[in-house]
Structure formats: structure tokens, C-alpha cells
Amino acid sequence: MSCHEIAALRLGLMQVLGIQNEAERLHEVVELGDALEKRGPLRALASARDLEGVCASYASALSELSERIARAGSHDPKLPYLRTLSVLTKKVELDLRAQIDALTRFWRDLEEVHDYVHEIYPDGTSSGEPSSEHRPGK
């Protein structure tokens, strides 16, 4: 059994981030095996083109994993592995959310610092002299 959810997430993130590493890509493709041929969240996740697609497909993949765990019988030899995979994928879900939140804050902060530059130089000049209200000692 393999960690299809993680392999598909890595492939999707490689595309979103523009990572061009053929050896890594092939490693994940081999990990996924025929799962890439089937319609569903793993294939969608592996081919995601933006962060919204990554998040939506990953959530769907986790939902399928939860269903698989629920269908497994208490004596199923795969159940301990599936439960461990559930913990791992939850941690990855939280980390992914934190990374996206950090990028969103960074994006917002760029606007704030951009506005601040316009406060310092309200006329848009770059004479090297800040406006009087932002000069030291004022």
C-alpha cells in the first residue's frame, strides 16, 4: 500500500510551484501507479494548476480516505496503516493550510507596504527626500 494522497499532493504542488524535477515527478507517478488513470480526486490533485485546485482536490482525496477507513473491517490487516495514513494526511492538511495562510498574509502585507511608500512619497517622486511628516525628528 502506498501514500497516494501525499504523492498526488506533491505532483500538484510541483506544477503550482513550477518545480521542474523529472526524477521526483517520475517517483511520484510510480507511487501512484494506475491511480492517475482513474477519474477522481487523486488524478485531479496530481494535475492541479492552482492552490485552490490543490486544496479542493486534497480535501476530496481525504474524504475518500475517510470512507475507505470506515468501510474497512475491524480485522482488516490494512486498518492500522489506513489509520496512520489518516493522521499523516491530517497533519499535511493543517500544514498546507498554514502555508497558504502565510502566503495570503504576505500578499496582503505587500499592499500595506506599497501604500506606506505612497504615504512617504505622496506625489510619486523619488527625489530621495521623504515627505516632511516622515522625516526623522518630525
Confirm whether pTM is higher than 0.85: no
Mean pLDDT to the nearest integer, 106-124: 93
The DSSP output letter for 35 is G
Instruction: Give the model confidence (pLDDT) of 43-97 as tens digits.
Output: 999 999 999 999 999 999 999 999 999 999 999 999 999 999 999 999 999 999 9
The residue among 13, 23, 24 whose CA lies nearest residue 48 is: 13
Instruction: Give the model confidence (pLDDT) of 36-51 as tens digits.
Output: 999 999 999 999 999 9
**pLDDT value at position 108?**
96
Say how far apart CA 46 and CA 15 lie, in whole Å: 8
Q: What is the dihedral of CA 71, 84, 86, 17, to 10 degrees?
A: -140
Label residues 54-79 b or e (16+ Cβ within 10 Å = b): bbebbeebbeebeeeeeebeeeeeee
Beta strands in the chain (DSSP E): none
Say how far apart CA 72 and CA 36 lie, in whole Å: 23
Q: Is 59 helix (H, G, I), strand (E, B) or coil?
A: helix
